[in-house]
Amino acid sequence: MTNTEKLTCPATMDMLDGIIEFILKGARLYGFDEPMIKKIHLVSEEVAANIINYAYPGSSGAMDIIYSIEEHNNTRSFVLVFIDDGLAFNPLELPEPDINAPIEERTIGGLGIFLVKSLMDDVTYKRHNDQNILRLVKH
């Protein structure tokens, strides 16, 4: 069984709260527990904010957010897909941050996608038809 909802909106910071509300409403509607919802919230905010801040430098654009609930063999998964037609960028190609290095020796950036990969069970990226497609799954 699959249930899917889609939101298309401008990739602007004033839309961030609405994006998060849309995603979390879906997670709650389908009965996911609060610890999972907190992870989905954190990951959603990170990804949406990155698209808003970096996908369309010097111009404006939009993004699609699609969530689906997939059930396979009595396991329910929350699948979240972010799509934008901004600059091509595969966040999975970023080097892993050295979280054990002293803070003053760490490079800036990279912790967000590290967090996303740590909190989700599956993260994939593809560039298709000039669009970035980031797919996140939490079981």
Domain count, the chain: 1
**Average pLDDT, 10 consecutive residues per value, the chain (139 residues):** 86 98 94 94 96 95 96 90 97 71 57 88 97 96
- pLDDT of the residue at 1: 47
Return the structure tokens found at 125. 């990226």
**CATH of residue 89:** 3.30.565.10
Q: Which stretches of 30-139 are DSSP H helices?
A: 34-54, 111-119
Return the structure tokens found at 5. 């909802």
Closest-CA residue to 83 (of 126, 139, 21, 32): 126
- pLDDT of the residue at 59: 94
Buried b (16+ CB within 10 A) or exposed e, 85-99: bbeebebeeeeebee
Domain that holds residue 131: 2-138
DSSP string covering 118-132: HHSSEEEEEEETTEE
- pLDDT of the residue at 43: 97
- pLDDT of the residue at 110: 55
- Max Cα–Cα distance, the chain, nearest Å: 49
Q: Report the C-alpha gap between 80 and 8 in whole angstroms.
A: 14
